[in-house]
Amino acid sequence: DAMVIQNPRYQVTQFGKPVTLSCSQTLNHNVMYWYQQKSSQAPKLLFHYYDKDFNNEADTPDNFQSRRPNTSFCFLDIRSPGLGDAAMYLCATSSGTESTDTQYFGPGTRLTVL
Amino acid sequence: GQNIDQPTEMTATEGAIVQINCTYQTSGFNGLFWYQQHAGEAPTFLSYNVLDGLEEKGRFSSFLSRSKGYSYLLLKELQMKDSASYLCAVLDSNYQLIWGAGTKLIIKP
């Protein structure tokens, strides 16, 4: 089945230790998104790629970086995780950015920072 | 600024009907989405409205009034599995999705 896959589902890292989260999709969608969601809060968009065009949200900290080596894969790198970065990280895809292009989400990676 | 408002939490009884409201103030409007999110899981798409009126999809219906900046999600014949958070999100003029914080729906037997 076509889907959005995130690995790992749960990630534990230490304060300041770099961590990489991965997302892959079999939907052949042009757009991939990374969101951060903390408990009982709305998802917060960190960045999105339209094909290889990278779009960084103005308030995304420099500590967060992203890579999209090809259509299917996208990575979220957290260079020096702090306690405040503990959250659920959601990857989503859409075929485009038009109004009818629904975003489809992966299962998320829950990050714990010790 | 851009803002999406929805109640934090609602409680309803199994078999009943519940309406979850959402009001929005955004820079432009290109459609409104409702997503369902079970605890610890990713949001899943429920509905999309871009024109005024009611869209019905099985037990779920979604309504939009653009002039009032208002939408609601109506859930009928509630089941225990409907216990989840329901997120309202608006696509603004830049085609950015602006999210509400979600309404936690608790279903009681």
CB contact under 8 A, B99 and A42: yes
pLDDT per residue over B8-53, tens digit each? Answer: 999 999 999 999 999 999 989 989 999 999 988 888 989 999 999 9
CB burial of residue A23 (10 Å; 0-12, 13-18, 19+): buried
Quote the mean pLDDT of chain B.
93
CB contact under 8 A, B48 and A42: no
CA closest to A45 among chain B residues: B97
H-run or E-run covering B72: strand B70-75
Buried/exposed code over A24-53 (b: 16+ C-beta within 10 A; e: otherwise): bbeeebbbbbbbbbeeeebbbbbbbbeeee
Cβ contacts from A onto B, under 8 A: 48
pLDDT per residue over A58-77, tens digit each? Answer: 788 999 999 999 999 999 99
Give the nearest partner residue to A107 out of B41, B48, B104, using CB atoms: B41
pLDDT interval class at A2 (50, 70, 90): low
Q: Is the peptide bond before A8 cis (omega within 30 degrees of 0)?
A: yes
CB atoms closer than 10 angstroms to residue B2: 12
Give percent of chain B with pLDDT exceeding 70. Answer: 100
Put simply, whether B42 touches A (Cβ < 8 Å) is yes
Q: Is the pLDDT of residue A22 over 80?
A: yes
